[in-house]
Structure 1
């Protein structure tokens, strides 16, 4: 086993039956050859590129990425001579021009966190193939129930299993899925750097997958209903949800996603001041930086998940000061809407 002559479990940091079961299930869901489970979603983001890149390499990424991923691209990788160029997901004409002879990886979130921007995965897969680049897709928001990036040419698909894969706010974890040759390199890297998922957390996540379809159906149905209700609401500047016709990439969402997902965003009139008062006036919706839980969660990206970005960087990524991200839970949809309405009404009365 140590000589890799036969497969087997020799050390839990390398592999164990629980993580193997989770990986096997996720590979079936995403349609990939192999995978590796990590201790967190960010461990998956880091290892998916840290294992494959070297000094002098270049990453081409969508501009709208999770705050910690942005820190990885702008603060950590540059210390090792790895540079990143951002391109807007909705401007495909700019992507090919940004590829250099040093580009090795294309990285994208679709839908993005938190702006829910999309990119045409089929087009992006063909672009990666044309230039012999590794396409990495963060599929956390969609989950394999809604979207399978490997079908469109993604070489690696990553998840923060902390979110919808667990779905109940109990544990943290991550997973990298993809082509066998790439996973072999990632497995070697992770075995000797240590970001491995614990066997118990793997067991929890594997059990969670048994309810993924049921949960995602409810998350998506409720999110669409809430988005439709809030669209054109007089107290909101805008509402964004992939399956809402007002979303600028609505047709693309219908092409590559089976549902719109469980996340929507809206911008409260009055900027950051009123957004803060709105949060303070919520009665029972949870305020947290997490998402994908059974309970509905509201997040203010400007002061939490993306607070380390400059104001200019946030605006470039579509994050307005009054933006609220809503992860729709499994509660009665009317109760969720009532709490939102009451909080908006309370802030309006306070102004008056």
Structure 2
């Protein structure tokens, strides 16, 4: 069944129900339009728009009226934020418990590909999956080589300022795991042979790096073309969160399983193209957002209109009518909104300027506890 057969038309009463259930503020028209939509849609939501909360609210409405015990909603992202938000906001409710169990499925894109594509393909080849984990796989590859072989390959790579840890399986012919990739060493060299031995042995033993799961996923889709249709039947509605950070290898698998233009599946992609944190080496085959199916949520609870107006010209992907700041304006005489611009190769003046702002606008009493400028956070 399609989504419209599985869920009755969403009404304003449904929206009012979820607003009360989750204790939300009154929702404006764009947010209500998203919650009521029954079509494939790309939602471009600005920072501070309450995107994750809206996603959970949308899922709650769908789950409340869901009619099938065998077909479900598939929710995919890069982290488990959606599941955690459902547990936090709806964990004690009946509808929340429905979302967290069969037939619905909430996971990362990697997790979905591993469970429904990579693992079945490996089983079909008689390989028991041991781990999809970079660290465990590097250890497994190291075990395939003698001390001399490993030391030789490592030294050869370091001479070319490369790392063995960056090697990936490119082909599901595990006797030739590098495929056509040029690693800088000819196939007849001892280094190349050591690399092949290492990758091949670990792969046949069931160890793979995180991003190799997509190579395996494509292998099943190539081998069994009906798998995509079966997954669309199993999940007639898929919601992809943080779509702006989806990489080409992830997007290619998603596009094959859940085509954006398939009339029998509803693909809801949510994200903010202006918050993309990974630069893509190659563009997505199906770029986000699709202008023909775009719904904008351009108002933010995080800042006032003064900041919104400053930020508008910096939008990488222009917002139709500009950002709207919903917070109350700052009181007269408070710290001014400030952007400090510095050259790419010299940030030495930034802290001085920040310090001047602190001394000028922050009362001495407030400075007693300390003032901090955090430029980076890392684990020791």
What TM-score, normalized by structure 2, do the two folds share? Answer: 0.26
Larger radius of gyration, structure 1 or 2?
Answer: 2
Report the TM-score, using the length of structure 1 for normalisation: 0.28
Which protein has greater RCO, CA pairs closer than 8 Å, 6+ apart? Answer: 2
